[in-house]
Amino acid sequence: MRSEPFFHTIAELAALLDAGKLSSVELTKAVVARTKAVDARVKAFNSYDEDDALAQAAASDARRSTGQVRGLLEGIPVGLKDVISVANQPLTASSRMLANFISPYDATVTQRLKRAGAVLWGRLNLDEFAMGSSTENSAFGPTHNPWDLSRVPGGSSGGSAAALAAGEAVATLGSDTGGSIRQPAALCGVVGLKPSYGLVSRYGLIAFASSLDQIGPLTRTVEDASIMLGVIAGHDPFDSTSCQTEVPDYRAALAEKRGPWRIGIPQEYFGEGLDPEVGAAVEQAIAFYRSRQCVIKEVSLPHTQYCLDTYYIIATAEASSNLARYDGIRYGHRTAEAVDVGELYCKSRAEGFGAEVKRRIILGTYVLSSGYYDAYYLRAQKVRTLIRRDFLNAYQDVDALLTPTSPVPAFTLGEKTNPLAMYLCDIYTIGANLAGLPAISVPCGFTGGGLPIGLQLIGQPFREAELLPIAHCYEQAHDWHTAHPKL
Ligand code: GLN
């Protein structure tokens, strides 16, 4: 199935590179050629620099030839969502506001990928400032789902998921504030991991909602996700919310931990709005775990009904504050027309931001304004505590929770015109962000029409080493992850 190098996993490619059967330059050339062949249709990339990537690959091959292999990512092309800073490369957040911005420094995750020998390849499309679930909010045009080009790849990390599914990168990084890694992973048939809040540094990530944002990997397999997480995780003094926690060997944990596990099924995640084909695939996955002697236990997360409201108060409040810095003064778009500084702020922001970003700034400013703060923002913070408590209570009886990732498979471009309909895409993913929990989406089947379906497993805080083996166990017994779209 995986004949072309660009459809191989990190683990497979590392073995080929080690054995001298492939060089990083050959691999990178294959990925570049694949990108040139398909990206006019997929549109996963905002930009890429072929010469730069090939120079990184040549440097990697040179290191390898002198025995200086830095790790499993040595020589592997990894794509980054265009909100993660790479020194001297564009950093646009898919916004007109930053259309011409060049990052002056590396994000911590970028530094860590470089230190691990990865070849950084391209800037991947997203919903503007990571606000959306379809990548249609990109100022540069939407990304298309490689499994059906008339459909969305999900979002906001739609470029990261689509590029990976289409063989335009071997692994990618996304960011996840309310589902932006897991939902596009589900819709594109790849693995997506949102780590525990505080495990991966946010330094150098363009901020959307700082108490929810986490960077994480999109990969072909759970093993590759473990490898990527091992590289990017760990304390960083440049991010005050980064935790002082040890980083275990996630990959080794896959072989060590084999269950059986106690798996909780939150009843609130299987109600109205769940597509029957998605529901059936997830039921099959539950049956699989039962067949592996896992204890399947129905659990309740009673505050689930408040997740969406809570998220859209907290996320917009934080966004309105984070996005205040884009005023046309120090960087970003500046209007050509202002007569005074007030007009400069207003026009620069009016011209630079798209409609969804403006909607969020207005909503966020409203919920933080005096007279409304207590009724909305403060109350949402309290409800957030209750939501987190629901999860922690459930974990007294179970090791992980199992749910669908997205209530629906990939929908048609242009189909969801109502913002609330779009927000409902996140209904199963935002809980993990509000509670700070690790959560992974793994492929669990296809619809009759050939669209990928994703299964979500939500773990306990900072227990990625226990969550990943549960996902790995399922993946190893199925071959959904070995299928690739025909482009
Ligand atoms: N779709 C959600 C939103 O629009 C989540 C986005 C994200 O995780 N960045 O806010």
Report pLDDT digits (tens) over 146-164.
999 999 999 999 999 999 9
Cα angle, residue 197 at apex, residues 194 and 202 outer, rounded to 5°? 90
Q: Helix, strand, coil % (nearest 5) of the chain?
A: 45, 15, 40
End-to-end alpha carbon distance in the chain: 15
Q: Is the pLDDT of residue 79 over 60?
A: yes
24, 60, 81, 242: the catalytic one is 81
- The Cα-based distances of 202 to 32, 284, 316, 379 in angstroms read 28, 36, 18, 26
Q: Which atom of ligand 1 is nearest to the CA of 131?
A: 4
Q: Could you tell me what percent of the chain has a pLDDT over 70?
A: 99
Q: Ligand 1 centroid to 383 CA: how many Å?
A: 19
180, 201, 226, 242: the catalytic one is 180
Pocket test for ligand 1, best of 126, 156, 320 (most atoms within 8 A of CB): 156
Q: Is the pLDDT of residue 257 over 90?
A: no
Domain boundaries, given as residue ranges, for the chain: 5-265+396-482
81 catalytic, yes or no?
yes
Q: Are 171 and 128 in contact (CB under 8 A)?
A: no
Mean pLDDT of 319-338: 95
Put the strands of the sheet holding 262-266 in their side by side order: 45-47, 119-124, 77-81, 171-176, 214-219, 191-194, 439-446, 452-458, 400-404, 262-266, 295-299
Pocket test for ligand 1, best of 208, 426, 456 (most atoms within 8 A of CB): 426
Bridging pattern class, strands 119-124 and 77-81:
parallel
Q: Which atom of ligand 1 is nearest to the CA of 130?
A: 9
What tens digit of pLDDT does each residue of 261-276 get?
Answer: 999 999 999 998 999 9
SS3 90: strand
Q: Which atom of ligand 1 is nearest to the CA of 179?
A: 8
Q: How many secondary structure helices (H) and strands (E) does the chain include?
A: 16, 11
- The Cα-based distances of 44 to 18, 40, 122 in angstroms read 30, 9, 10
214: tokens are: 């986490």
Q: Ligand 1 centroid to 180 CA: how many Å?
A: 5
Q: Could you tell me what percent of the chain has a pLDDT over 90?
A: 98
Which of 107, 341, 307 has its CA nearest to residue 207? 107
370 catalytic, yes or no?
no
SS3 175: strand
Q: Ligand 1 centroid to 425 CA: how many Å?
A: 9
Confidence band for 379, pLDDT divided at 50, 70 and 90: very high
Q: How far is CA 35 from the centre of its chain?
A: 20
Which of 45, 143, 140 has its CA nearest to residue 97? 140
Q: Which atom of ligand 1 is nearest to the CA of 433?
A: 8
Q: Ligand 1 centroid to 103 CA: how many Å?
A: 23
Q: What is the pLDDT of residue 222?
A: 98
Q: Is the pLDDT of residue 65 over 70?
A: yes
Q: Is the pLDDT of residue 486 over 60?
A: yes
What tens digit of pLDDT does each residue of 216-233 get?
Answer: 999 999 999 999 999 999
Q: What is the DSSP letter of 189?
A: T
294: tokens are: 């896992």
Alpha helices in 20-87 (DSSP H): 24-42, 50-65
Q: Ligand 1 centroid to 120 CA: how many Å?
A: 25
Q: Which atom of ligand 1 is nearest to the CA of 132?
A: 4
Q: Ligand 1 centroid to 156 CA: how many Å?
A: 6
156, 157, 160, 320: the catalytic one is 156
Residue 441 CA to residue 263 CA, distance in Å, equals: 15
Residue 317 CA to residue 352 CA, distance in Å, equals: 19
- Residues with Cβ within 8 Å of residue 32, at least 6 apart in sequence: 48, 50, 53, 54, 121
Q: Which residues pair with 51 in a beta bridge?
A: none
Cα angle, residue 25 at apex, residues 36 and 170 outer, rounded to 5°? 60
Bridging pattern class, strands 295-299 and 262-266:
parallel
Q: Which atom of ligand 1 is nearest to the CA of 177?
A: 8
Pocket test for ligand 1, best of 82, 95, 133, 408 (most atoms within 8 A of CB): 133
Which residue ranges have their beta carbon within 6 Å of ligand 1?
130-133, 156, 176-180, 208, 315, 426
- Assign a CATH topology to domain 5-265+396-482: Amidase signature (AS) enzymes (3.90.1300)
Nearest CA to ligand 1 atom 10: 131
Q: Is 342 exposed, middle or buried (0-12, 13-18, 19+ CB in 10 A)?
A: exposed
Pocket test for ligand 1, best of 125, 126, 131, 357 (most atoms within 8 A of CB): 131
Q: Is the pLDDT of residue 327 over 60?
A: yes
What tens digit of pLDDT does each residue of 16-42 get?
Answer: 999 999 999 999 999 999 999 999 999
Q: Which atom of ligand 1 is nearest to the CA of 181?
A: 8
Residue 3 CA to residue 236 CA, distance in Å, equals: 39
Give the count of beta carbons closer than 10 Å to the beta carbon of residue 153.
Answer: 36
Q: Ligand 1 centroid to 207 CA: how many Å?
A: 12
Q: Whole-model pTM?
A: 0.98
156 catalytic, yes or no?
yes
CB-side neighbour CA atoms (13 Å) of 426 = 29
What tens digit of pLDDT does each residue of 401-451 get?
Answer: 999 999 999 999 999 999 999 999 999 999 999 999 999 999 999 999 999
Q: Ligand 1 centroid to 129 CA: how many Å?
A: 9
Q: Ligand 1 centroid to 340 CA: how many Å?
A: 35
Confidence band for 1, pLDDT divided at 50, 70 and 90: very low
Which of 275, 219, 274 has its CA nearest to residue 14? 219
Q: What is the pLDDT of residue 245?
A: 93
DSSP 198-237: TTB--TTBPPSSTTT-EEEEEESSHHHHHHHHHHHBS--T
